[in-house]
Amino acid sequence: MNNFQGNPAFVAYAVACLVLCANLIFLWAFSGATRGKTRTAINAEDAARFGGTLVEVDPPEVARVLRAHANAQASIYPFLFLGLVFVLLGGGAGFAETIFGIFTVARLAHSYVYLKGRQPWRSIFFIIGGLATIALMLDIIWLLVRT
Amino acid sequence: MNNFQGNPAFVAYAVACLVLCANLIFLWAFSGATRGKTRTAINAEDAARFGGTLVEVDPPEVARVLRAHANAQASIYPFLFLGLVFVLLGGGAGFAETIFGIFTVARLAHSYVYLKGRQPWRSIFFIIGGLATIALMLDIIWLLVRT
Amino acid sequence: MNNFQGNPAFVAYAVACLVLCANLIFLWAFSGATRGKTRTAINAEDAARFGGTLVEVDPPEVARVLRAHANAQASIYPFLFLGLVFVLLGGGAGFAETIFGIFTVARLAHSYVYLKGRQPWRSIFFIIGGLATIALMLDIIWLLVRT
């Protein structure tokens, strides 16, 4: 009754959601930690309270982490909405485990190589995540038209 | 059991979610394609690997696509959370189809006119999307207090 | 069937989702209103249609509201995904009400003190929201391994 604990596709979703949200939260916290290491502050009250130089533009190190975070947000949130729709439409556990697994690993790798500045790996992992998202969308369409 | 395939309000949600996520993903990919066309790179490793001039600030064309994407994110994600809450609270199919349909069309139109730089249409479509969101929130409150 | 209206953990989620989405939408709309008050426009078509000085960089007042919004997005969306996973896994109503309540109040307070520029309160409310998110993630892991 109203409980998806025994639904293996939902369990796959829950695990992917946990890891992907941890990825997002880490990047956001890391942008703050990186800002601290550059001894800069973007808000006057932060410079006054915690010290550091007040700046109007993020230092390059901080801007990189924020770009990695922006890319993660733009990729992960749509996937998490679509993944939930897939599971609630009764999508299969095997497909869910495969696609959620590929997407999650690709996004973790994308964040890592973005922070490290490694190309062409960043593009490759972004594209793998994108292809997994497209596969998920096609399967949702299939589930909808099959009805 | 645990399957919303036969719930018409959820099917409306699934279709809106598909289209709105496609809208978001298109804008994000298009910002990258636009950046490529300007022959600029914001990451040193991209300039080194793929060529282009390394810049610290996005060219105006890229900044416009990113603003359209930011507006889409700020509007669509809350709506998708609220829409799902509405459906899971047992909200009616007629209301779901109407509100999800209006919001989805308004947001597609908003993205289009943002990229084209057309006012007052951009403001009009933004407001229509906002009113649909407020209507959805009011109906959720109604579903909650009715309990 | 397929209706969570009688599930108190889901009702807590629905209320938190309503308030947190209202928070996000308010900040986004407020960034536009603040921009209007500075008599600046970031799009050429806005300056042409509504007047104001065309600028390439947001005025400091607008940039502050947008940073508050960015922080809200980065914190709230992951929490809303995780909160829904928690409820769908059959998580308890008492835990849901406590954690959703603490997070929601902390985020409202965070937005308020960000707009007012008050430290160390902003950091304190950000950390409270972060700890609530970590508690939620740990309880989801507990629900998953207990299976």
CB contact under 8 A, B42 and A67: yes
* ipTM associated with this complex: 0.96
Nearest alpha carbon to residue C143 among C81, C89, C83: C89
Contact A67 B24 (CB under 8 A): no
Q: How far apart are CA C32 and CA B70, in angstroms?
A: 13
Of B13, B21, B42, which is closest to A78 when you measure between CB atoms?
A: B21
Q: Do C14 and B144 touch (CB under 8 A)?
A: yes
Interface test with B, best of C69, C80, C107 (most B CBs within 10 A): C80
**Model confidence pLDDT, tens digit, residues C72-98:** 999 999 999 999 999 999 999 999 999
**How high is the pLDDT of residue C147?**
63
Return d(Cα A51, Cα B86) in angstroms, integer: 46
**Distance in Å, alpha carbon of C140 to nearest chain A alpha carbon:** 8
What percent of chain C stands above pLDDT 90? 95
For every one of its 147 residues, what pLDDT tens digit does chain B have, with 9 covering 90 and above?
Answer: 457 888 999 999 999 999 999 999 999 999 999 999 999 999 999 999 999 999 999 999 999 999 999 999 999 999 999 999 999 999 999 999 999 999 999 999 999 999 999 999 999 999 999 999 999 999 999 999 986
For residue B45, which residues of chain A lie inside 8 Å, CB to CB?
117-119, 122
Provide the token pair at C112. Answer: 């308020």
- Minimal C-alpha gap between C44 and chain A (Å): 23
Q: What is the pLDDT of residue A2?
A: 59
Strands A53-54 and C53-54, by their bridges, are: unpaired
Q: Report, in this order, helix, strand and coil percent for chain A, each rounded to 5.
A: 80, 5, 20
What is the per-residue pLDDT across C34-65, written as a single tens digit (0 to 9) for each?
A: 999 999 999 999 999 999 999 999 999 999 99
Nearest residue of chain A to residue C8 (CA atoms): A2
CA B28, C18, C72 angle in degrees (round to 5)? 50
CB burial of A67-85 (b: ≥16 within 10 Å; e: otherwise) equals bbbbbbbbbbbbbbbbbbb
Q: Are residues C101 and C16 in contact, defined by beta-carbon separation less than 8 angstroms?
A: yes
Q: Which residue of A has its CA nearest to C123?
A: A46
In C, minimum Cα distance to B6 occurs at C2
Please compute, for residue B146, the number of CA atoms within 13 A of its CA located in the half-sphere on the CB side. 10
* Residue B45 C-alpha, separation from nearest chain A C-alpha, in angstroms: 6
Question: What pTM value is reported for the model?
Answer: 0.97
